[in-house]
Structure 1
C-alpha cells in the first residue's frame, strides 16, 4: 500500500455548545508517497492536532483523511498501526520509565504476531545507530538523544511506510538535534518512508522537507517548496513574516 496522504476539509472542535473551540476549521493538503512534508506555524496553530487526527489518536474530527487512497477510518486498527507510526516530541515522556527497551520493542511484535523478535529488535536497534546492549537498558540509563533513537526504533519495528514526526528534536540538546535529523534523513532514503513532520524551526524544514505548509489559527495559509525559504518567496503575509523572521534570526547568529 502506498503511503500518500490526502486531507480534505479536516475540522475539529474541542468542547461543547457555545464554549466549543474550533481548532481546525477546514484543513486541506496532500503528501506524496516518499515525500517529507513539513507543517510549520506558531504554537497553537493546530499542527500536532493534524497528526493526532491522521493517526486516529484523536478520532472525533470531521472531513476526509485518506492514506494510499483509503479512508483512514476504514483501515482496521492493526493494519493502520502497521501502516503508520508516530514519533513524539518528548523522549522523556513517550517511553515508559519502568519498561526496558526489550519490552518496548517486543510488545508490538507480539500484538501483531510477528516472528524472530530478537532478530527484528537487533536490526532496528542497529538501524537507529545504537548497539545491541541497549535492548536491555531502561530509559533512565540513556541520554535524551538515545531515548529518541529508541522512540524511532519503536516506530520502525512494525516496518510502517508513513511516519508522523511531532517536533522530534525540539526537546534535545542542540548538539544532538543534527544527529537525529541526519538519522531520519538516512532512514527515509533506506526505507522509502513518507514523513509528515511538525516543526517550528524552518532550518529543520530546509534540511529535511521537500514541501511545507504554513499554518495559522488552524488553517493552511500556503503550501510552499523548500526552495521558497531562501529569498522568502511566500505570498501570504503571515508566511512571509514567519520566513522573514527565521532568516533574520539565522543571519544574526
Structure 2
C-alpha cells in the first residue's frame, strides 16, 4: 500500500487555467473519489499525477517520492490507469494477449504468460479470451481486460477515470464489485473520478468535490446520505444527486 500526496498542482491549457493549486493527501490503501461537473478538472488531476500530462506545476508524491523523479518503468510498476472507454483504450487490431503483453515487454519483464494468466483470472475472464479481439467482447468484458492490463505490472496504485460510465447499469455493478474485491485482495490505493455519487458511496472512503479546477470540500463517504457538506456548491451537488436517486 502506498500513499499519494498532491501539493499546489496547477495547469493551464493556453490561456485557460484548468487546475488551481490542488492539494490532496490520500492514505495507503484508501479509495479516494474526485467528483464534480464536467470540466471541473477531475480527470486532469489524474493525467497530471500520472505524468500523461507533464506540463503542470506543483508536486505529486507517492510514498514521499516525487513522480517526476521516477523513471518510466518504475512509475509504470507503481501506478496504472484504467480509462473511461474500454473500447477506445484497447487497440482494435491487437488481440487481448497482445494488449496485456505490451506493458510487460516494454518493462523488460520475462515471465509474461504466468502474469497474463493470473491477471485474467483476477478479473474473472477465461484465458481462452486471450486470442480474441476487443470487438469480440462485450463492453463489460473489455473493461475487465482494461483492468487486467493494469494489473499485469502489479502496481500499488490504480487511477480509475470514470471506469464504468460507458457501461450498462447491470454491468456497472459487476465491474464496481470487481474493483472492490481487487482492492481488498491486493491492497491497492485507488483514486476514482466519477460524476455519480452513488458510485462514490459504494466505492470510496472519502471524496473531494471539485469546481472550476479547485477543491471545494473533502468529505467522508458517510456525509452523503445526510448531505453534511458545509460549502454551498458541495451541498447543492449532493442535494441534486440525492434528489435524482429518489426520483429513479
State the TM-score, normalized to the length of structure 2. 0.99
Match of 2:95 in 1: 100
Match of 2:4 in 1: 5
State the TM-score, normalized to the length of structure 1. 0.97
Name the SS of the counterpart of 1:93 in structure 2.
coil
Q: Give the one of 169, 185, 190 matched to 1:190.
A: 185
1:179 corresponds to 2:171: no
Name the SS of the counterpart of 2:33 in structure 1.
strand
Match of 2:74 in 1: 79
Stretches (4+) displaced over 3 A: none
How far off is 1:119 after superposition? 1.3
Match of 1:164 in 2: 159
Length, aligned pairs only: 248
How far off is 1:216 after superposition? 0.3
* Separation of aligned partners in 2, 1:32 and 1:149: 26
How far off is 1:29 after superposition? 1.1
* Separation of aligned partners in 1, 2:111 and 2:215: 44
* Separation of aligned partners in 2, 1:136 and 1:47: 35
Match of 1:42 in 2: 37
* Separation of aligned partners in 2, 1:35 and 1:25: 24
Q: Residues 79-116 of structure 1: CA distance to partner in whole angstroms, max 9, x if unpaired?
A: 00000000000011000000001111111112222232
Question: Which ranges of structure 2 fall in alignment gaps of 5 or more residues?
Answer: none
In the TM superposition, 1:1-253 aligns within 5 A as 2-15=1-14, 20-253=15-248
* Separation of aligned partners in 2, 1:111 and 1:9: 32
* Separation of aligned partners in 2, 1:108 and 1:244: 42
Question: Which ranges of structure 1 fall in alignment gaps of 5 or more residues?
Answer: none
